[in-house]
Structure 1
Amino acid sequence: MNYWLMKSEPEVYGIADLERDRTTIWDGVRNYQARNFLRSMASGDRAFFYHSNASPPGIIGLMQVVETDLVDPSQFDASSHYYDPKSTPEKPRWQTVEVEFIERFPSLISLDTLRQNFSPDDLWVVRQGNRLSVMPIEIPVAEKILAMAR
C-alpha cells in the first residue's frame, strides 16, 4: 500500500462532501505530473485529503483508492472548466481514480504545522511554490501524519 496527498478546495469539493457521498471520482486534474501519479495508484492505496485555498490550508482526512485507471469524464464536457478539446473518447488524455471516505480527522493539520514537522524533501506540500494537486508520500511520513492526526 502506498500513500498520497490529494488537494481539493473545500468550496469545490471538501471532506464533508466525500463523507456524505462516501465515494467519488477525483476528476479535473490537468497537470501531467499529477495525472501520472494518479496513473501510478493502486486499489487499496491511502490518500490524505488536503483542503487547499482555505484558511488555513491543511490535511483534514483520509480516503482510500478503490478503483484506478478511470477515464476522467470532465475532459469531454464542453461546459466544464476541465474540458480538453484535444481529448477524445478514443484517445483520452486524462485518467483518474475513484476514492472512498475513511475518516475525517478530529482537527485539521495545518500547513504551518506540517512545515514545522517535515522538510520539503519529506513532504512535497511544504515546498515553496508547490502547486501539484496529487503527490506521493513515503510510508514513514504518512505514519507520522497519522500519529499527528490521532
Structure 2
Amino acid sequence: MGRKKQSRGGWLFKEEPSCYSYDQLEKDGTAQWTGVKNALARQYLRAVQVGDRVLYYHTGSQRAIVGEMRIAAGPPVDPDGADPKAVAVTVEPVRRWKRPVTLEEIKKDVFFSSWELVRISRLSVMPVSPEQWERLEEMCRTKGT
C-alpha cells in the first residue's frame, strides 16, 4: 500500500501586483523580499529557512493566492542598511497555481476562520500550517466561486 504524501506547511507572503507580481518573479528568476515593516511580520520573516515553501498572495483588487515560491537564501539583514531591524530573504518561483484561490473563497470556509490571513488583514508575512496548505491546494484544483 502506498503512503499518503505528508504535507508540510510553509509561509504566505503578500505583495501588491503593481509593485511586484508573480509574473515578474518568474521573469526575474529570483528576488529579494524586502520592505517588511510590521513587527510580527518581521518576526515571521526571521523564522523562515532556506528551502521553505511560500505562497505568493496578490493584494489589491486581486486578493488571491496565485503561486508558490521557495526561500533561496536568507534571512540576512536588510541589504540597504537603512533600518537595522529590517530583514530580507531571497525567493524563487516554484509554480503558478492552476487557478488563483481568492480571499473571498478562503473567508467562506470556516476552516480558515482563525488564520491570520482572515483575522489580521494587514499582516504581510504569516505561517501556513500543513493542514491549511493542503486545503488551499485542494481549493486550487477545484472550480472557484
Tell me, yes or no, whether TM beats 0.5. Answer: yes
Q: Is the 8 A contact 1:6 1:50 kept in 2?
A: yes
Q: Is the 8 A contact 1:27 1:74 kept in 2?
A: no
- What is the letter of the counterpart of residue 71 of structure 2? V
- Residues in 1 aligned to 2:140 and 2:29: alpha-carbon distance in whole angstroms: 20
Question: Which consecutive unaligned segments of at least 5 residues does structure 2 have?
Answer: 1-7
Compared CA separation, residues 13 and 74, structure 1 to 2 (3 A): farther
- Residues in 2 aligned to 1:2 and 1:39: alpha-carbon distance in whole angstroms: 16
- Residues in 2 aligned to 1:44 and 1:17: alpha-carbon distance in whole angstroms: 21
Aligned to 1:44: 51
CA RMSD of aligned residues (A): 1.5
Aligned to 1:19: 26
- Give a deviation string over 1:74-103, Cα, whole Å, max 9, x none: 452xxxxxxxxxx3xxxx211111111001
State the Cα distance separating 1:105 from its structure 2 match.
Answer: 1.1
Compared CA separation, residues 74 and 12, structure 1 to 2 (3 A): farther
TM-score normalised per structure 1: 0.82
Q: Is the 8 A contact 1:4 1:48 kept in 2?
A: yes
State the Cα distance separating 1:124 from its structure 2 match.
Answer: 1.5
- Give a deviation string over 1:25-74, Cα, whole Å, max 9, x none: 101111111011010001111110000012x3110000011112222234
Aligned residues: 133
Query: 3-state SS of the aligned residue for 1:38?
Result: helix
Query: 3-state SS of the aligned residue for 1:130?
Result: coil
Structure 1 runs of 4+ aligned residues shifted over 3 Å read none
State the Cα distance separating 1:9 from its structure 2 match.
Answer: 0.2
TM-score normalised per structure 2: 0.84
Aligned to 1:142: 133
